[in-house]
Structure 1
Amino acid sequence: MSTAAVGHVEYVHHVWPARPVHLASIRAEVRRWLAPLGLTEDTQEDIVLAANEAASNAAEHAYLPVTVGDTVELTFWVEARAVWIEIVDHGRWQAPAPRPGARGHGLKMMSNLVDTVLLHYDGRGTRVLLRHPAVAPHDQR
């Protein structure tokens, strides 16, 4: 984090319709949230891609059949040394295929992009919690 951002804690919660057409605006919003933190461009893109994958899974798989009220929620906050993003849907968990082909690698991809991926699903929906260190290049020692 830049010197100006040390100790900075921000909290944002936003809800989108759970439709693939909204993924571009979700990515843009996550980029906007990350911009003031002084992270490298690569780190920002990794976090955006991980959040996008979780939101994409919610938009494409959680709600079958699709209804007007289906949503994907993102909650973003910053702690002294970490960025957190929680992605929530209120649909049904769809287990990945036992032998994924071209699809079904989302959790592995998220784990490769950010430091921590926690997953919880039950009858209320699915929560994906992403955590990544928020250390700007000049703060690394």
Structure 2
Amino acid sequence: MGEAVRQVLPANAVAPSLVRRHFRGWLAALGWPPADTDDLLLAVSEAVSNAADHAYPPHRPGDVVVEAECVPGANGSRRVVVTVLDEGAWRPPPAWHENRRRGVPLMRACTESVDIWGSPSGTRVRMVSKPVPV
């Protein structure tokens, strides 16, 4: 339906804004509706932020990979499937986490589905957008 995209970014504080800019252009080229674009960009940005904040220990650089493709859906619809990958290790949540731990619920609210797989060798987040008309 559309060319898949892949972006490799350093897992740092700038990564979410870079991925938003890149994916906004890609979604615009697909003719993705603006409100649905905003929801999907928020979900992807949050997944990238989580990798930047939690995947790697302080002062140990790492990458976050974002891949996406537009796929046909049922009844003349289409969806975007986004995968966010890192090679970090799961770390315990910070002791002080007020105003934290809202990222996954936010991703779930902005997409049709979110699946998260974590292991000692990295984390994979797969999100499927809400359907939009072709």
Name the SS of the counterpart of 1:39 in structure 2.
coil
CA contact (8 A) 1:9 1:78 kept: yes
After superposition, residues 1-141 of structure 1 pair within 5 angstroms as: 8-68=1-61, 70-80=62-72, 81-96=78-93, 101-136=98-133
Which blocks of at least 5 consecutive residues in structure 2 are unaligned?
73-77
Q: CA deviation at 1:95?
A: 5.0
Q: Which aligned runs of 4 or more in structure 1 are off by greater than 3 angstroms?
A: 94-100
- How far apart, CA to CA, are the structure 2 residues paired with 1:62 and 1:40? 32
- How far apart, CA to CA, are the structure 1 residues paired with 2:93 and 2:110? 19
Q: TM-score, normalised by structure 2?
A: 0.86
RMSD: 2.0
Q: Percent identity?
A: 33
Is the helix fraction higher in 1 or 2? 1
Q: Which has the larger displacement, 44-53 or 12-21?
A: 12-21
Name the SS of the counterpart of 1:20 in structure 2.
coil
Name the SS of the counterpart of 2:106 in structure 1.
helix
Q: Which has the larger displacement, 99-108 or 34-43?
A: 99-108
Q: How many equivalent pairs are there? A: 129
- How far apart, CA to CA, are the structure 2 residues paired with 1:95 and 1:50? 22
What is the letter of the counterpart of residue 84 of structure 2?
Answer: I
Alignment CA distance shift 1:40-1:96 (3 Å): farther
- How far apart, CA to CA, are the structure 1 residues paired with 2:103 and 2:120? 21
- How far apart, CA to CA, are the structure 2 residues paired with 1:100 and 1:117? 22
Alignment CA distance shift 1:97-1:45 (3 Å): same
Q: CA deviation at 1:98?
A: 9.8
